[in-house]
Amino acid sequence: QSIVVQGNQRVDAATIRSYAQGSSPEQIRQDLLATGLFSSVSVSQRGGQVVVSVKENEVINRVVFQGNKKLKSDQLEAEVQSKARGPFSRAQVDADVQRLRDVYQRSGRGLASVSSRIVPLENGRVDVVFDVVEGEKTGVKQINFSGNEAFSSGRLRDQMTTTESNLLSFLKNSDVYDPDRIASDLELLRRFYLKHGYADFRVVSNDVKFDEAAGGYIVNIVVDEGRKYDVGEVNVESRIPDIDAQTLRSRVKTSAGDTYNAEDVEKSLQAITTEVASKGYAFAQVRPQGAKDPATGKIGIVYVVEEGPRVYIERINIRGNTRTRDNVIRREFDVGEGDAYNKVLMDKAERRLNNLGFFKRVRITNEPGSTPDRVIVNVDVEDQPTGQFSVAGGYSTADGFIAEVSLAETNFLGRGQFVRAAASLGQYSSGVEFSFTEPYFMDRRIAAGFDLFSKQTDNTRYSYYENRTTGGTLRMGLPITEETTALLRYSLYQTDLTIPNTTKRPYNDCWYPIPGFTPTQVIGGYTAGQYPDCVNNGEASIALKQAAGTRMTSLAGFTLNYNTLDNNRNPRNGLFAEWKQDFAGLGGDSQFIRATGEVRYYRELSDDFVGMLKVQGGQMWGNDLLITDQFFLGPSLVRGFAPGGLGPRDASDPRNNALGGTTYFGGSAEVQFPIFGLPRELGMRGAVFADAGTLFGYKGGFNFNAPYDNCPVTNPNVQTTCLSVYDSHQIRSSVGASLLWQSPLGPIRFDYAIPLSKAKYDQTQYFRFSGGTSF
Amino acid sequence: CASEPITKGYILDEKALAEVKPGLEAQKVLQIMGTPSTVSTVGNQTWYYISQMTTERARFLGPSIVDQRVIAINFSKNMKVERVANYGMQDGVVFDFVTRTTPTGGNELSVVRQLMRGAGLSNTP
Amino acid sequence: CDTISSFNPFDKSETYKPEIVPEVPAEQLYNDGLGYLAKNDYESASKRFASLDRQYPFSSWAKKALILQTFANYSNRQYDDAIANGKRFLALNPTSPDAAYAAYLVAMSYYNQIPDVSRDQERSEKALVALQEVVQRWPKSEYAEDARFKLNVVRDQLAGREMTIGRYYLQRRNYTAAINRFRNVVSQYQTTNQIEEALSRLTEAYLALGVVQEAETAAAVLGHNFPDSPWYRDTYKLMQSKGLEPRENEGSWISKAFKSVGLG
């Protein structure tokens, strides 16, 4: 039957009729409303005809945003439903206002207020105007903990990725309130407590309220730590007939009496699983059964080994990798297609993939295979940007002010390769470097790579020369076991050592007098080279002048290191040992063999008290060594001494230049502790230490055929050309204290050390400062 | 410091293998031995159960094969066991695989595009 | 972080002044769009058609514009928009003469986003489905011919992925995984350009396992179907010498090293 359309101005009748095909009037009404074009529709039957009368929505002329600075108008436009020249509806605009408020809250501006205005125009159109007052950035102002006795709130905060707003908040966005991030932080907290024996730990409540006065969010986390558990009786129970449980005991990483540590339990599971698999039981499953006894504070752990279902992996599907290549992900799996399915090994792979840092999310799931004893493993990953552009600045008494700009990419072209380029500029040194690493060279777990560098350093503060080192290194890292790694390297570099000889820095004017500056009149009876006062205005020692010029060094070497530190940045437990061995002389100008070693042992004495013992040593073999090839040591061996401040010195030179030595050894003991009285929130820690060590054995040249042979010489004003070396084996020692501050600008360290024993010409430096930030 | 050998692929159970005798139907073999690692390329007359023992002398060397066994079960036309063959490590021929590969298409990830797209979310390929 | 933008002084907000935007009739928008298309200015064309669709939704002009907008998006490499608009056009008028073209544009939008074989091939799978739809629903349309050709290219791509993973496992001497991957190519992708290499790799894997009879079968199938293929030449040499003669000199250890880092 024919349809009469009334009340339409803009929408043509044909279109309305094409939508009025519904069987019942009510159906037609619903269809027409669904188009969103009409504010009201009524459908009635009159005689044979269906009468449809509509009232069209007004049409929006323009959608305008006012007062928005941080979020651009086109960004906001994409968020709202009301569009220019689209239908206008009051409900829609209100929904848009709420939507805009959410957008601002998520971008860290909880204080923003959004209101809407409708401006009618002559041609029946309307303008929709959204007025925005963005307000200040509202990050997380405070994260408060209550119920935490075992660990300071500061330490708990360190575990979280969300940080509190401070001076630097305009630089970072980790203080933006993001509920998902808070949720994942709570999981990090739980894992932290489980690692330190608090098996009953739970987060009682976590409420976040918006505080107008503070202009941000206050996060209150109430925790119930429960008691600290130690490991009670540990046992292995094998339900597989011919697997003897006792043989597996050696694999268990949790021993009775230790503090309960959930990570050790997981490591034990993996170790037992691998052991059982190697006995041919690839399907065995290992489950921990914990028996918690709150009264005694002991957790008995029984590792139950039982036969799992005989299921093989049919296929491993890797999905979602829009950037990382398939093999970069697949090679992190110890098991392949066709191998026995083993949950523990899957978790190990998931952990490895997360550690790569290439993915926002990694999820491994299974689905049944084509036959009952086959399973298909799906690995869903989500790539994340892995490029980093960072600017770092800092100051230290040794290097003065220094700034570095670096660009790094850890997943270059999705191949898992690491590329980094950096340029640094400072008061006393500047340089550029480029490095590349392929972590799976020749498809083996060999981290092969190369570095190119060019560094210019000005050592005139502690000696009298500047040098530029330019060259490259080829290196190959070979992991031997989980803890030990070997690093093979070959470096070829050229050093240009120059002795400044200007009016401001006349360090070579005895040999090359500066006209008009170095006095040239001769004092009674001495021949050339007798420019009085050329020594007193500071003169590089003969050995240094001998080393001046360009040298090529070509050395091969290896480093073996063993590392069980719990955290490389600030360790609390574990051992780090390193042996470095270099052989220079495959071509190049210097021939020497150099061996250095260092062992550091950390132990957490009681809560937050960390003790550290360190021994180090080094030895060089080779004769007629260049001065710059020898060891120049200072605070790195014994704190309280200036850089290059201890070791063999040039007795004939008024400033007693350091000449370097070929043998050194030393030790150090240090205890770090929180500073009492100061609120822990400041992040201040103190340390006291005692160092001792010595450097001796100068093996450079003694007599140099300088242009003027003045050796020995009696007149102190004239530079002798034969070296008299003060080389004492005395042990230098010092005691001191330091202040470590996790300041908003980055980690800062002040060291104050008083030398107890020093050799005659040693140069001391009681105070040392280093600090810097990168953002 | 080689780690203990780990079995990769099919976990062979000598007792189960002993039960597979000529004349046994395929269905029974399936119950005893489980799904084969793979089956012959042409027709379905031969089932292969492939297992390898590997050790890892050093982590960077990765696993190396110390033993390899292939059980081949040939079936007659009416899918009854005809013959059980056994290949060991010594049968394997050692040679270099050809390094040439058949070219494939698709947009390579170029350096410029990677820098621009970061996580590769924008719609330009 | 808003490091840079927080210092930006020019960043003032827009102040609202009521101003009537002249109303452009639907037909004119449509013709403007066509004009831009003629000048290959796909960006402005897709903007015109988008505003036509917004101003006069559900109108006959809008319906006509939709197919042109899909084409503009596609030519402007806005593949996601092209897919969305193409699918909307198909939903709105399934029987229109342009339906085949819309489906073809949707298929090609997926096709052009196919990444190299080492990355997620989800778009290849979607392209496969879309191209098959073009071939099945409009077999006689002018696009079916090209769709059939592109189908082979997409199958080559999916087969290529199976081969890459197969070679990964062959390299690690996990023969079970490698053989099953190559068998997948032989069973599901026998019409692709990867089939020759799949059969050749099967021969290599079975020979390395010592199962000579299977190696011979695979080599025979390869020889029978592709007698003059370089893969058969290598396989024949391998079977003759049982691996004693090197089949190709892939250069020194150094070239292998460079190749593994992706520079070779």
Largest CA distance in chain C: 87
A429-456 residue pLDDT tens: 899 999 999 999 988 889 999 999 999 9
Which candidate in B51, B55, B59, B66 is best for mutational testing of the A interface (most A CBs within 10 A)?
B59
Task: For residues C73-89, give the mean pLDDT.
Answer: 90
Apex C175 CA angle, C170 and C178, nearest 5: 55
Asked if residue A712 has a cis previous peptide bond (ω within 30° of 0), the answer is yes
A150 pLDDT above the threshold of 90: no
- State the ipTM, two decimals: 0.86
C170 with C201: CB under 8 angstroms?
yes
Closest alpha carbon within chain B to C255: B99
Task: For residues C80-93, give the mean pLDDT.
Answer: 88
Instruction: Say yes or no: B15 contacts chain A, CB-CB below 8 A.
Output: no
pLDDT at position C165: 96
Compute the distance between CA of residue C51 and CA of residue A59 in angstroms, rounded to an integer: 13
The verdict on a CB contact (< 8 Å) between C210 and B96 is no
A458 pLDDT above the threshold of 60: yes
C65 with C52: CB under 8 angstroms?
yes
Apex A521 CA angle, A517 and A524, nearest 5: 145
pLDDT at position B123: 35
Instruction: Say yes or no: C21 contacts chain A, CB-CB below 8 A.
Output: yes
Per-window interface: C 160-219 vs A, CB < 8 A: 161, 164-165, 168-169, 171-172, 174, 176-177, 180-181
Chain A residues with beta carbon closer than 8 angstroms to that of B5: 278
DSSP state at residue C8:
-
The verdict on a CB contact (< 8 Å) between B87 and C209 is yes
Residues of chain B with pLDDT under 50: 1, 118-125
A295-332 residue pLDDT tens: 888 888 899 998 888 899 999 999 999 999 999 999 99
The verdict on a CB contact (< 8 Å) between C119 and A322 is yes
What tokens does B123 get? Answer: 């719609």
What tokens does C10 get? Answer: 């020019």
Closest among A745, A683, A741 to A393, alpha carbons compared: A745
Closest among C101, C64, C106 to C85, alpha carbons compared: C106
User: Helix, strand, or coil here: A158?
Assistant: helix
Residue type, C173: R
Q: Which position has the higher pLDDT, C185 or A245?
A: C185
pTM for the whole structure: 0.78
Which candidate in C8, C10, C19, C21 is best for mutational testing of the A interface (most A CBs within 10 A)?
C21
pLDDT at position A619: 95
Apex A564 CA angle, A576 and A562, nearest 5: 50
Which candidate in B113, B114, B117, B122 is best for mutational testing of the A interface (most A CBs within 10 A)?
B114
Which candidate in A56, A69, A773 is best for mutational testing of the C interface (most C CBs within 10 A)?
A69
User: Helix, strand, or coil here: C59?
Assistant: coil
Tell me which residue has tokens 């999981």: A187
What tokens does A477 get? Answer: 């890292």
**For residue A328, which phi and psi values (nearest 5 degrees)?**
-65, -30
Task: For residues A71-86, give the mean pLDDT.
Answer: 82
The verdict on a CB contact (< 8 Å) between B107 and C114 is yes
List the A216-224 sheet strands across, edge first. A140-146, A216-224, A202-211
The verdict on a CB contact (< 8 Å) between A62 and C1 is no
Dihedral, CA atoms, C52, C55, C58, C63, nearest 10 degrees? 0
Highest mean pLDDT among A103-117, A701-715, B110-124, C201-215: C201-215
Which candidate in A19, A31, A72, A127 is best for mutational testing of the C interface (most C CBs within 10 A)?
A127
A203 with A189: CB under 8 angstroms?
yes
Instruction: Say yes or no: C4 contacts chain A, CB-CB below 8 A.
Output: no
Closest among A284, A404, A405 to A345, alpha carbons compared: A284
A614 with A600: CB under 8 angstroms?
yes
Instruction: Say yes or no: A368 contacts chain B, CB-CB below 8 A.
Output: no
DSSP state at residue A562:
E
CB atoms closer than 10 angstroms to residue A589: 16
Q: How far is A358 from chain B (nearest CA, A)?
A: 10
pLDDT at position B100: 86
pLDDT at position B119: 35
Compute the distance between CA of residue A393 and CA of residue A403 in angstroms, rounded to an integer: 4
Closest among A608, A630, A627 to A619, alpha carbons compared: A630
Q: Interface partners of A (3+ CB pairs, < 8 Å)? A: B, C
For residue C10, the number of C-alpha atoms closer than 13 Å in the C-beta half-sphere is 0
The verdict on a CB contact (< 8 Å) between C115 and B106 is yes
Compute the distance between CA of residue B68 and CA of residue B84 in angstroms, rounded to an integer: 17
Q: How far is A359 from chain B (nearest CA, A)?
A: 9
For residue A202, the number of C-alpha atoms closer than 13 Å in the C-beta half-sphere is 3
pLDDT at position A436: 95
Instruction: Say yes or no: C57 contacts chain A, CB-CB below 8 A.
Output: yes
Chain C residues with beta carbon closer than 8 angstroms to that of A64: 14, 16
pLDDT at position A319: 94
Instruction: Say yes or no: A323 contacts chain C, CB-CB below 8 A.
Output: yes
DSSP state at residue A323:
S
**C-alpha separations of A86 from A94, A336, A589 in Å:** 16, 56, 79
Closest among A32, A82, A92 to A62, alpha carbons compared: A82
User: Is the dihedral angle over the CA atoms B5, B8, B14, B16 positive or is it negative?
Assistant: positive
pLDDT at position A166: 66
Tell me which residue has tokens 């270059």: A412
Compute the distance between CA of residue A245 and CA of residue A243 in angstroms, rounded to an integer: 6
Compute the distance between CA of residue C80 and CA of residue C151 in angstroms, rounded to an integer: 20
For residue A687, list its beta bridge partners: A672, A738
Chain C residues with beta carbon closer than 8 angstroms to that of B88: 210
Nearest to C120 among A321, A338, A775 (CB): A321
A152 with A674: CB under 8 angstroms?
yes
Quote the mean pLDDT of chain A.
Answer: 84
The verdict on a CB contact (< 8 Å) between A414 and B37 is no
pLDDT at position C3: 41
List the A284-293 sheet strands across, edge first. A230-238, A298-307, A284-293
Instruction: Say yes or no: B58 contacts chain A, CB-CB below 8 A.
Output: yes
Compute the distance between CA of residue A686 and CA of residue A680 in angstroms, rounded to an integer: 12
Confidence of residue A622 (pLDDT cuts 50, 70, 90): confident
Nearest to C208 among B42, B92, B125 (CB): B92
Compute the distance between CA of residue A373 and CA of residue A341 in angstroms, rounded to an integer: 10
How buried is A230 (Cβ within 10 angstroms: 0-12 exposed, 13-18 middle, 19+ buried)? Answer: middle
Instruction: Say yes or no: B98 contacts chain C, CB-CB below 8 A.
Output: yes
C12-43 residue pLDDT tens: 566 777 776 677 788 888 898 899 989 999 99
DSSP state at residue A87:
B
Contacts of residue A208, Cβ cutoff 8 Å, sequence gap at least 6: A177, A179, A182, A217, A218, A219, A220
C81 with C73: CB under 8 angstroms?
yes
